[in-house]
């Protein structure tokens, strides 16, 4: 069984799990280790990064801090080229959705119009103080930096928003619309917390100036409005989110309240999705697909095919089942017909073809036998039934794949139950035998592996449905069959009763089988993914993105 692959040291094999968990927690140093969560190759304690397998995709989990560093790099770059300060560069970049090339092009073309549109400067501002286009902005931004600090006014005046006449601390952006600091802070808080808006505009009506980051941060800090720092935090998060959503190489981990981002440049284009399945995992080892939202891991099938399959299942399965059991096709035009009563003399509504419901032969040969058909073996009837069986075959073919697909999906849903059962079994083992807790972990490991393989198997049926007939498909189905057989064997072992006498052989068997199953899964994934890369797979239907 598993003799080809020697994984003799079991302790190592189990320790591995814990190592993984601790690697996942460490958000400051995400490394390639995280990628191989689901494979067995890294059971070997290799000091270097385990080599990436061909069916895995190169990606890098990034913590929020790491994404912020990427942002800063872009901002510094632009600020260096344009000779503006960082906060201005950040506003310009956000306005252009972080498209540096377009920003540089547009800015070189007409700097002032871009600045106005980005809310960096006011339209009228350009003329009064300075002349000449380029230096204005730098002086303009410098002026703003000075103004960001609250200017205490000698005597209290009335803020036009809260009508408080005792306010002494007033702030304004470079547009000179001045409001008291508590109004600013309340406004910024409401924009960030309630609207989730990172671009906070000046409060004056119709003023399009956007508050630069230092203004937002210092106002929140100086006003005492944001004592727990949560608004500031949220602001930072909104900025990061905007950056991530603008960048096709980056995706947020879709798991609730996970703050990781994954960078996967090779899966950023739509066309790349036809040659690989970008299953990635974030720094907290949440697995998800970089290319679609269908399933967290739909390997070995690529996104467009998985999507097509799901759509077909949603549209067709129930209908197909019903059609199969309740209808026949007209032997001439193949429209589907339900017989809802009456005699066997059918007239197709569509093509007006008259035939017998029982033998499917043309009615003209029937004479007057209205309620019975004794002409089952006549040539006309046999031909008609042949044609019918062909159209039935395509339906049956679909149902064949669908039922297996659904079966594996169903067993994945039952996995919680299986876990509980296994846990009970593990306890039982500890009681009835001399095995320790750590030694019965092989059961859990086996269940996990079986579940993982079922997920793969499930999607292989979607793939096989669309694969064109030929040697390639046969090889694929061989791999599929081997994996399925191995998984079923393993499942059976897991179900078998525990007998203190045979427990050690059972343990040996299960462990061997687990390793074997994992290897079969890997072989299938690798071969399929190689096939995609080599464009070896041929489809029996036009698939989006393929020729």
Partner 1 sequence: MDARLRRVNKEIADCKNDKSSNIKIELVDASPFHLKGSFPGPQDTPYEGGHFEVDIVIPDSYPFQPVKMKFITKVYHPNISSASGAICLDILKDAWSPVLTLKSTLISLQSLLCSPEPNDPQDAEVAKHYTTSKRSFDETARYWTQIYAGGPAVKKMEVKEPQKDEIAIAGLEKAHVDQFEGLGFERSKVIDVLRRLNYRGANVANIAEDRIVEELLK
- Indicate if the alpha-carbon torsion angle 267, 271, 275, 277 is positive or negative: positive
Smallest separation, CB 118 to partner 1 (Å) = 18
Q: Exactly one of 57, 84, 93, 183 binds partner 1 (CB under 8 A); which one? A: 183
Give 246-292 as a DSSP string.
H-TTEEE--STT---EEE-GGG-STGGGGT---EEE-TT--EEESS-
User: How many CA atoms are closer than 13 Å to the CA of 222, on its beta-carbon side?
Assistant: 19
Q: Is 163 in the site for partner 1 (CB under 8 A)?
A: yes
Closest Cα partner for 41 from 15, 8, 17, 7? 7
- 53 vs 193, beta carbon nearer partner 1: 193
Measured CA distances, 359 to 294, 338, 345, 390, 442 (Å): 45, 15, 11, 16, 59
- 35 vs 202, beta carbon nearer partner 1: 202
Q: Is 162 in the site for partner 1 (CB under 8 A)?
A: yes
Smallest separation, CB 164 to partner 1 (Å) = 7
Q: Exactly one of 59, 94, 137, 191 binds partner 1 (CB under 8 A); which one? A: 191
Q: Is 186 in the site for partner 1 (CB under 8 A)?
A: yes
Q: Is 35 in the site for partner 1 (CB under 8 A)?
A: no
Q: Is 187 in the site for partner 1 (CB under 8 A)?
A: yes
Rounded Cα distance between 541 and 309, Å, is 12
Smallest separation, CB 115 to partner 1 (Å) = 21
Q: Is 205 in the site for partner 1 (CB under 8 A)?
A: yes
Q: Which of 162, 333, 343, 351 is catalytic?
A: 343
Q: Exactly one of 132, 206, 341, 497 binds partner 1 (CB under 8 A); which one? A: 206
The b/e string for 164-179 (b: 16+ C-beta within 10 A; e otherwise) is eeebebbbbbbbebbb
Kindly indicate which of the ranges 73-81, 155-163, 243-251, 322-330 contains the residues binding partner 1, using the contact rule CB under 8 A.
155-163
Q: Which 441-460 residues touch partner 1, going by CB under 8 A?
A: none
Q: Is 81 in the site for partner 1 (CB under 8 A)?
A: no
Measured CA distances, 98 to 113, 122, 155 (Å): 18, 22, 43
Smallest separation, CB 165 to partner 1 (Å) = 10
- 207 vs 493, beta carbon nearer partner 1: 207
Q: Is 356 in the site for partner 1 (CB under 8 A)?
A: no
Q: Is 194 in the site for partner 1 (CB under 8 A)?
A: yes
- 47 vs 206, beta carbon nearer partner 1: 206
Measured CA distances, 183 to 145, 193, 206, 409, 443 (Å): 20, 15, 18, 55, 62
- What's the length of the chain? 547
Q: Is 343 annotated in the active site?
A: yes
H or E segment to which residue 433 belongs: none
Q: Is 371 in the site for partner 1 (CB under 8 A)?
A: no
- 207 vs 395, beta carbon nearer partner 1: 207
Rounded Cα distance between 408 and 462, Å, is 12
Residue 296 CB burial class (10 angstroms; 0-12, 13-18, ≥19): middle
Kindly indicate which of the ranges 116-124, 200-208, 257-265, 269-277 contains the residues binding partner 1, using the contact rule CB under 8 A.
200-208
Smallest separation, CB 99 to partner 1 (Å) = 24
In whole angstroms, how large is the CA radius of gyration of the chain?
34
Closest Cα partner for 93 from 250, 235, 247? 247
Q: Give, rounded to a whole angstrom, the gap between the first and last alpha carbons of the chain.
A: 41
Residues in the interface with partner 1 (CB under 8 A) total 19
Q: Is 164 in the site for partner 1 (CB under 8 A)?
A: yes
Q: Is 330 in the site for partner 1 (CB under 8 A)?
A: no
Binding mask 115-154 for partner 1 (x = CB under 8 A): ----------------------------------------
Longest dimension (CA), the chain: 112
Rounded Cα distance between 124 and 133, Å, is 13
Which residues of the chain form contacts with partner 1 (CB under 8 A)?
160-164, 179, 182-183, 186-187, 189-191, 194, 203-207
Question: Which residues are catalytically annotated?
Answer: 343
């Amino acid at each position: 069984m598993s003799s080809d692959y020697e994984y003799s040291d079991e302790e190592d094999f189990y320790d591995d799990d814990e190592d993984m968990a601790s690697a996942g927690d460490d958000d400051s140093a995400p490394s390639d280790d995280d990628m191989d969560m689901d494979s067995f190759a890294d059971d070997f304690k290799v000091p270097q990064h385990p080599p990436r397998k061909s069916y895995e995709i190169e990606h890098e989990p990034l913590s929020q801090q790491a994404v912020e560093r990427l942002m800063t790099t872009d901002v510094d770059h632009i600020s260096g080229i344009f000779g503006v300060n960082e906060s201005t560069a950040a506003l310009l970049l956000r306005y252009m959705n972080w498209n540096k090339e377009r920003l540089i092009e547009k800015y070189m073309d007409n700097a002032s119009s871009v600045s106005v549109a980005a809310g960096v400067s006011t339209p009228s501002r350009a003329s009064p103080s300075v002349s000449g286009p380029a230096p204005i902005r730098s002086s303009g931004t410098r002026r703003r930096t000075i103004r960001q600090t609250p200017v205490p006014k000698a005597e209290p005046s009335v803020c036009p928003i809260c009508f408080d006449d005792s306010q002494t601390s007033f702030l304004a952006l470079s547009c000179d619309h001045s409001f008291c600091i508590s109004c600013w802070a309340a406004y910024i808080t409401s924009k960030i917390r309630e609207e989730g808006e990172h671009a906070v505009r000046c409060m004056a009506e119709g003023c399009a100036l956007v508050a630069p980051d230092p203004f937002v941060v210092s106002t929140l800090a100086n006003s005492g409005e944001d004592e727990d720092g949560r608004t500031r935090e949220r602001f930072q998060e909104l900025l990061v989110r905007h950056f991530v959503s603008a960048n096709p190489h980056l995706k947020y981990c879709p798991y609730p309240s996970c703050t990781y981002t994954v960078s996967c440049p090779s899966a950023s284009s739509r066309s790349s999705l036809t040659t690989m399945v970008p299953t990635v995992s974030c720094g907290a080892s949440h697995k998800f697909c970089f290319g679609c939202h269908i399933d967290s891991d739909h390997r070995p099938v690529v996104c467009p095919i998985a999507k097509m399959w799901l759509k077909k299942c949603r549209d067709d399965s129930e209908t197909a089942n019903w059609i199969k059991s309740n209808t026949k096709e007209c032997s001439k035009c193949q429209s589907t017909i339900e017989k809802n009563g009456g005699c066997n003399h059918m007239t197709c509504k569509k093509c007006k073809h008259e035939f017998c419901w029982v033998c499917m032969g043309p009615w003209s040969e029937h004479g007057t036998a209205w309620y019975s058909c004794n002409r089952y073996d006549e040539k006309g009837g046999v031909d008609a039934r042949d044609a019918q069986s062909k159209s039935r075959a395509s339906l049956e073919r679909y149902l064949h794949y669908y039922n297996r697909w659904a079966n594996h999906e169903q067993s994945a849903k039952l996995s919680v139950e299986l876990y509980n059962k296994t846990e009970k079994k593990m306890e039982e083992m500890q009681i009835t035998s001399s095995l320790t807790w750590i030694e019965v972990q092989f059961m859990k490991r086996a269940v996990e592996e079986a579940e993982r393989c079922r997920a793969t198997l499930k999607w292989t049926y979607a793939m096989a449905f669309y694969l064109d007939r030929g040697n390639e498909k046969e090889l694929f189905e061989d791999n599929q069959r081997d994996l399925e057989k191995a998984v079923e064997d393993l499942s059976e072992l897991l179900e078998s009763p525990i007998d203190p006498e045979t427990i050690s052989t059972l343990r040996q068997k299960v462990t061997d089988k687990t390793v074997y199953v994992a290897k079969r899964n890997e072989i299938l994934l690798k071969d399929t993914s190689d096939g995609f890369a080599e464009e070896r797979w041929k489809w029996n239907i036009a698939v989006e993105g393929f020729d």
